Structure 1
Amino acid sequence: MTFTQELAQETQTLRDQIHAMAFNRELAEGTLPPEIFQGYIIQDAHYLEGFARALSLAAAKAPDAQAVAQLAGSATGAIAVERGLHGHYMGLFGITTASFEATDVSAACDHYVSFLLRTAAIGEFPETVAALLPCFWIYRDVGKEIAETSRPENPYAEWIATYSGEAFDESVTRMLALTDRVAAGASSAARARMHHAFKRSCWHEWRFWDSAYNGEGWKEIEPNPA
């Protein structure tokens, strides 16, 4: 069993829950309310900027030129998705640059990005790679599953095509291979940290979609009664 197969086996229940989430089921059916998808797209644009920064930090720590090029290229690709796919939907929804910048980052988005940046900044390279992997892997698997049942007239067809497409599939395959390669040379303690980081990022993926579906921002602190 490869290391990434171990990761998949260990997180199967959580990843099954992600596939079954109302957000993804309704997106597949094309019935997801536009206002929910709009909120999600705004938060995802904020997220992808942080994700690209974490990939760049990982590239700076990479042990060889091949890994540097791969991670730096993925960082560029994340920004390209933000500008292309998100630009498409923001145009449809009439979201201006000013309104986007005025929208606060949600607690779920901030928590996820902070975890990735902290791991990339102070964690070891193997741990960082494992933390970054779920964003590739889960989106590819969800996108492919949705593409199997989605109809061409689905209003979210551009999103589905992006994450079920060949180009994204190839980037995920490369990331899986890098994770296995890094794990093969890691100590048992480092591999344990990789498992922990991967599981934590899987949870953040679930939390991000759950928060977007329920329109959650920051919980307000109730004032003490007088």
Structure 2
Amino acid sequence: MRETARETPGPEFCAEVWARAAKLVAAIHEHPFNAALGAGTLDGERFAFYMVQDGRYLEAFSKVLATASVRATDSSDAAFFAQSAHTALVVERALHTGYLAEFGVTPEDAAAVPTSPSCLAYSSYLQATALSAPYPVVVAAVLPCFWVYQDVGTALLERTAEAPDHPYRTWIDTYSDPEFAASVEQARSIADRLAAGAGRATREAMAAAFLKATEYEWMFWDSAWHRETWPTATWLS
């Protein structure tokens, strides 16, 4: 059965889903982890835990972006996601390596930290989506990792502009960088274009994927704040 097209144009996809996620995005900005990060008071153990988990996540995310590149039917889309996969795996990993060394966390220390339930859940969700969902839904699912980070980074830059010696300046500068903002804009443009050409069912699936991934973004920061562990870990030998 052919998918039913939308009867009326409606708002652009990104404007629609960002509005629907407004309370959730606000909660991400207001989360104690990001509040302390912006204030420069976030303790090193929490940030190091976050860096370890984020490194694990980025390994999976880069594979999801590479899959999106392979599945893209537009060569420009394919090039964008291929480059983004490289950035996630190489450029952002360098950020993690630098901070972990600064906090005295060796590669061996990092390897000994179990992957948190939230990190595994988010990574697994994106990987499953990349392999089983239509390409437009994959694009919608990866968009929050671009957009939410840029939104948070930009907000923190505004709050910390007068603090050049901020302990997390490099992290803030990475995600508020104009080049990163340009990549976010391109990801949004791809999502809007795909949604405009999709039927109602695909557009609804795209929205659901975007919102679910945004929920996982909140959960990821919350898990870092609590240094989340597996509640059943002591039951295993």
TM-score, normalised to structure 1, is 0.96
The residue aligned with 2:93 is 83
The 1-side partners of 2:128 and 2:17 are apart by 21
The residue aligned with 1:29 is 39
1:66 and 2:66 are equivalent in the alignment: no
1:210 and 2:228 are equivalent in the alignment: no
Amino acid at match of 2:76: Q
- The Cα shift of 1:95 comes to 2.0
For residues 126-185 of structure 1, the C-alpha deviation after alignment (integer angstroms, 9 at most, x for no partner) is 110000000000000000000111121211110000001111111101101111011111
Q: How do 1:100-179 residues align onto structure 2 when only pairs under 5 Å count?
A: 100-150=110-160, 151-179=163-191
Which stretch shows the higher mean deviation, 197-206 or 211-220? Answer: 211-220
The gaps in structure 2 that reach 5 residues or longer are 1-10
Amino acid at match of 2:201: A
C-alpha spacing 1:221/1:158, structure 2 compared with 1 (3 Å): closer
The 2-side partners of 1:91 and 1:81 are apart by 16
For residues 102-122 of structure 1, the C-alpha deviation after alignment (integer angstroms, 9 at most, x for no partner) is 221110000000000000011
Identity among equivalent positions (%) equals 41
The residue aligned with 1:13 is 23
The 2-side partners of 1:25 and 1:97 are apart by 28
The residue aligned with 1:92 is 102
Structure 2 residue matching 1:173: 3-state secondary structure = helix
C-alpha spacing 1:98/1:221, structure 2 compared with 1 (3 Å): closer
The residue aligned with 2:231 is 219
The gaps in structure 1 that reach 5 residues or longer are none
The 1-side partners of 2:104 and 2:179 are apart by 28
Amino acid at match of 1:152: P
The 1-side partners of 2:38 and 2:209 are apart by 29
Instruction: Name the count of aligned residue pairs.
Output: 223
C-alpha spacing 1:13/1:68, structure 2 compared with 1 (3 Å): same
Q: Is the 8 A contact 2:12 2:196 kept in 1?
A: no
Structure 1 residue matching 2:73: 3-state secondary structure = coil
Structure 1 residue matching 2:50: 3-state secondary structure = helix
Q: Is the 8 A contact 2:137 2:205 kept in 1?
A: yes
- The Cα shift of 1:221 comes to 7.3
- The Cα shift of 1:42 comes to 0.5
Structure 1 residue matching 2:224: 3-state secondary structure = helix
Amino acid at match of 1:145: A
TM-score, normalised to structure 2, is 0.91
Structure 2 residue matching 1:9: 3-state secondary structure = helix
Which stretch shows the higher mean deviation, 74-83 or 189-198? Answer: 74-83
- The Cα shift of 1:83 comes to 2.7
The 1-side partners of 2:207 and 2:137 are apart by 8
The 1-side partners of 2:233 and 2:54 are apart by 26
- The Cα shift of 1:222 comes to 8.6
Structure 2 residue matching 1:104: 3-state secondary structure = coil
Match of 1:196 among 177, 200, 208: 208
